[in-house]
């Protein structure tokens, strides 16, 4: 069976929906960020701090390539993974992509107090969320979009 790839902004529910979907379909859930952390032996935040975002995106691209080679997975892709056309092509070759969308207010509520998201480690998280959401929305490669 083809993989199911869940994508969307951080805090949109990819992991939560992924667990439910994996349970309903008997598939294994793989979170790309957790996969990268396991491979690297360090957290995403540590990768950003030590090596920078470009290195993390390289690792993310490699994770997409590896996971696309498997079958019967529910893949919870990192928040920015599918803003790169290469990752969209790689994952869509063996899976169906589902975009989960939520409002900035929902993201802010869900991530209040979260210190694990490197791109939100700013004094004004609301501005960071809104700016990043706008940038990503305009940069998402053409994929079928559905409000869930």
User: What pLDDT is stored for residue 138 in this prediction?
Assistant: 63
Dist. CA 79–CA 13, nearest whole Å: 10
Model-wide pTM > 0.75: yes
28: β partners: 73
Ranges of residues in the chain whose predicted pLDDT is under 70: 138-148
| Residue 113: how many other CB atoms lie within 10 Å | 5
Dist. CA 101–CA 92, nearest whole Å: 19
The model's pLDDT over 97-121, given as tens digits with 9 standing for 90+, comes to 998 888 889 888 888 887 777 777 7
């Amino acid at each position: 069976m083809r993989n199911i790839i869940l994508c969307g902004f951080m805090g949109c529910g990819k992991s939560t929906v992924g667990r439910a979907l994996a349970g309903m379909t008997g598939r294994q859930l793989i979170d790309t960020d957790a996969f990268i952390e396991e491979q690297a032996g360090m957290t995403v935040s540590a990768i950003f701090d030590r090596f920078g975002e470009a290195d993390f995106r390289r690792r993310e691209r490699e994770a997409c390539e590896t996971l696309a080679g498997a079958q019967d997975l529910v893949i919870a892709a990192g928040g920015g993974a599918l803003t790169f056309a290469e990752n969209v092509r790689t994952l869509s070759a063996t899976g169906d992509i589902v975009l989960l969308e939520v409002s900035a207010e929902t993201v802010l509520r869900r991530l209040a107090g979260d210190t694990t998201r490197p791109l939100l480690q700013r004094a004004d998280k609301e501005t960071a969320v809104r700016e990043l959401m706008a940038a990503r929305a305009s940069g998402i490669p053409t994929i079928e979009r559905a409000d869930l």
